[in-house]
Amino acid sequence: MNVVTIERKILEKNDEVARQNRALFEKSHVFTINLLSSPGSGKTSLLECVLEELKGRLNIAVIEGDVHTDLDAQRVARYGVPVVQIVTHGGCHLEAKLVQDALTHLPLQETQVLFIENVGNLVCPANYDLGEARKVVVISTTEGEDKPLKYPAMFRNSHILIINKIDLLPHLSLRLEDLKRNALDVNPSLRVFETSCVTNEGIREVCDWLLGQDSSKS
């Protein structure tokens, strides 16, 4: 019972800071995405493809979350966007206060879209609101059809599903329709995109969605 009480207090405190973050994003007219996945799904590569496609069309900033190193932030910085690295030193997810602290290093008034690339994990980040407008979960075709069933909270709490590495489908036993059906059984309102960072397939569709969200938020 004590464990449950402590966990509830932690989440309540996080949610309060998340509300503060969300109010700041709305005031600054920043559309914020919490980018989630397991390790190795290709979400940083996906983010790089989006940054390349939208260069000169949207003002984008990035917060990178990782257990150790700033390697992903270095990759993103090559695209000339403002980026802040959060190193959790073993923590399995980002929290709203970490994001709030990182925001002081970003030019929010000049930002239209903010990506928060969360720590690679399909469990812990699902329960932590960061103040984002949309949760976007990325799953690669190499992970199998059953991930939405094994980690339902992540898919239930997300708004967008991106199925990445579809260029590998000819070499895998995965049935794409089964993966999509499992995800939609968990969350029928998910919008699904299929992408490849090798062939660039589906990247433009994701970017068109982003452009539409940016124009609609004002």
Q: What is the pLDDT of residues 121-144, one digit of tens each?
A: 999 999 999 999 999 999 999 999
Instruction: Give whole-number Cα distances, 60 to 2, 3, 30, 91, 206, in Å.
Output: 42, 40, 9, 26, 15
State the alpha helices, DSSP H only, in the chain.
2-28, 43-53, 71-77, 96-103, 147-150, 152-157, 176-186, 203-217
What is the per-residue pLDDT for 214?
Answer: 58
Q: How far is CA 155 from the centre of its chain?
A: 12
Inform me whether the pLDDT recorded for 218 exceeds 70.
no
User: Using 50, 70 and 90 to split pLDDT, how confident is the model at 97?
Assistant: very high
Q: What is the mean pLDDT of the chain?
A: 93
What is the per-residue pLDDT for 89?
Answer: 86
Range of the domain at 68: 2-217
Return the axis-axis angle of helices 203-217 and 43-53, rounded to nearest 10°: 70
What is the per-residue pLDDT for 4?
Answer: 45
pLDDT in tens, 179-200: 999 999 999 999 999 999 999 9
User: Using 50, 70 and 90 to split pLDDT, how confident is the model at 11?
Assistant: confident
CB 115, CB 59: distance < 8 Å: no
* Burial (0-12, 13-18, 19+ Cβ within 10 Å), 152: middle
What is the per-residue pLDDT for 7?
Answer: 53
| pTM of the complete model | 0.93
**Across 102-121, average pLDDT:** 97
> What is the Cα–Cα distance from 55 to 52, expressed in whole angstroms?
5
> What is the Cα–Cα distance from 108 to 25, expressed in whole angstroms?
8
User: Using 50, 70 and 90 to split pLDDT, how confident is the model at 1?
Assistant: very low
Q: How far is CA 54 from the centre of its chain?
A: 17
CATH number at residue 69: 3.40.50.300
What is the per-residue pLDDT for 216?
Answer: 43
Q: Which two tokens stand for residue 17?
A: 């800071």
Residues 6+ apart with CB under 8 A from 41: 120, 138, 139, 140, 143, 164, 165
Which helix (H) or strand (E) element contains residue 143?
none
What is the per-residue pLDDT for 217?
Answer: 46
Domain count, the chain: 1
The order of strands in the sheet holding 113-117 is 83-87, 60-66, 113-117, 31-37, 134-140, 160-164, 191-194
User: Using 50, 70 and 90 to split pLDDT, how confident is the model at 66?
Assistant: very high
Q: Within a 10 A sphere around the Cβ of 51, how many other Cβ atoms?
A: 20
